[in-house]
Amino acid sequence: ETGVTQSPTHLIKTRGQQVTLRCSSQSGHNTVSWYQQALGQGPQFIFQYYREEENGRGNFPPRFSGLQFPNYSSELNVNALELDDSALYLCASSSGLAGVSYEQYFGPGTRLTVT
Amino acid sequence: AQTVTQSQPEMSVQEAETVTLSCTYDTSESNYYLFWYKQPPSRQMILVIRQEAYKQQNATENRFSVNFQKAAKSFSLKISDSQLGDTAMYFCAFMKHSTASKLTFGTGTRLQVTL
């Protein structure tokens, strides 16, 4: 058990709505990365937060945004949901200087369905 | 940009036998890490093994070992004495040794271990 938790486990939203996904990082970790895993695909990097600042972003539009809190937990927000946003959203926590670490621990994911 | 290719969508192996999963990657970086992750039906991504590119010696973790061919940009995973619990999706992943700890994943290989 890695200690990384995500909520909710599943949720269903309608196109155009907004959604917030949550991640609690493993104790002692200061960095959270978010990934989107479409069905049958490998995860794709969305962005990373290190000590409450965005520290790298993948090829995702601005309607994907995030936050990291002083306790290093994190939120992923997606506005104006589209059908293609349906996916498993994974967060991974790690510790390291300036967010650099090769030891990432993943949570169980949130399955988002957009109808 | 880095790319990771897994050309075997599905593989099957009998319990106690050995199986090799293939992965190739493309990068202009000289300093990087390669990983194999396992994703069982529970969805939680679990690190199986890690290889630093500057190390010539192939990494080994119990029944899992890799064949790292840097010049050929090849990184295969060998699972010895396969067990039913090894049934999962296996993802090959790449990470630059720099700024954000962004993982680039392949599309995965579904491994089924049978009796």
Which chain A residues are closer than 8 Å to B35 by Cβ? Answer: 102
pLDDT band at B104; cut points 50, 70, 90? very high
**pLDDT tens, position by position, A37-93:** 999 999 999 999 998 999 889 999 999 999 999 989 999 999 999 999 999 999 999
By the 8 A CB rule, do B93 and B106 touch? yes
Question: Kind of pairing, strands B10-14 and B109-114?
Answer: parallel
Average pLDDT in the B21-31 region?
94
Using the Cβ of A41 and the Cβ atoms of chain B, whether some distance falls under 8 Å is answered with: yes
Tokens at A108, concatenated: 């169980």
The one-letter amino acid at B68: F
Phi/psi region, residue B16 (left: phi>0; alpha: psi -120 to 50; beta: rest), is left
Partner residue opposite A108 with nearest CB, options B43, B105, B108? B43
Q: Which pLDDT value is given to residue B36? A: 97
Which chain A residues are closer than 8 Å to B40 by Cβ? Answer: none
End-to-end CA distance of chain A: 33
Using the Cβ of A64 and the Cβ atoms of chain B, whether some distance falls under 8 Å is answered with: no
Q: Which pLDDT value is given to residue A1? A: 47
Phi–psi pair at A98, nearest 5 degrees: 55, 30
Phi/psi region, residue B2 (left: phi>0; alpha: psi -120 to 50; beta: rest), is beta
Q: Which pLDDT value is given to residue A99? A: 61
By the 8 A CB rule, do B93 and A35 touch? no
Partner residue opposite B44 with nearest CB, options A31, A101, A108? A108
For residue A46, give how far its alpha carbon lies from the nearest alpha carbon of chain B (Å).
9
**pLDDT tens, position by position, B54-100:** 988 999 999 999 999 999 999 999 999 999 999 999 999 999 887 56
In whole angstroms, what is the distance from residue A95 CA to residue A82 CA?
A: 33
Q: Which pLDDT value is given to residue A23? A: 97
Contact B45 A106 (CB under 8 A): yes
Smallest CA–CA distance from B98 into chain A, residue: A100
Average pLDDT in the B26-45 region?
92
